[in-house]
Amino acid sequence: MNFLAHLFLAGPTADSLIGNLGGDFVKGPLHDRFTPGIRAGIVEHRKIDSFTDAHPHVAAFRRVLIPEHGHYARVIADVFFDHFLASSFEEHAGETLEGFIERVHRALDAHIDELPGTLPYVYPLMRDQQWLLSYREIAGIETTLARMSHRLSRRPRLEAATHHLTDSRHELERRFRAFFPDVVAFAQSLRIES
């Protein structure tokens, strides 16, 4: 899962949003580095990633990408999930993507000094350049993947994968729609447990 999906799957509190978004920016054991709510959000993020990795529809989704993109298929799939979520956001969320993003930004802005890892440097770019909103368009996904490619030592040109959002769209979207209700239910079950 990528940024939009992790925020969508988070609980409504600022701590849950921060932890679920911050999960990719924090490595290793958590110990007492964060508030209990942020720590719980990071743990939830990690469990959601594990659930996603083990899901059969996700494996089938990635198989479309693997012949051309090898081990980068996982990263590409995570970003593509955000595209499919953003493209049908109201259907899944019962609110507009714009309204959701505005609510998330308000919550994060009020707690910017609590953002974990390198998120304090990344979040202002995400907010100011409207990354989450850009995921709705293929051009936004292309930009996101190009940005990710520049951070990788091999410069793999991940943005070339966006042709699958046209060429293989039906199959990818079908797999996403089969998977996404399961991960929503899983995320809800995590919050019920805690």
Q: Does the pLDDT at position 194 exceed 70?
A: no
Pairwise CA distance, residues 26 & 48, whole Å = 15
**What pLDDT, on a 0 to 100 scale, did the predictor assign at position 113?**
93
> 93-151 pLDDT, tens per residue?
999 999 999 999 999 999 999 999 899 999 999 999 999 999 999 999 999 999 999 98
Per-residue CA distances from 10 to 31, 46, 65, 128, 168 (Å): 21, 12, 27, 21, 29
On whether the pTM is more than 0.85, the answer is yes
Average pLDDT over residues 159-163: 97
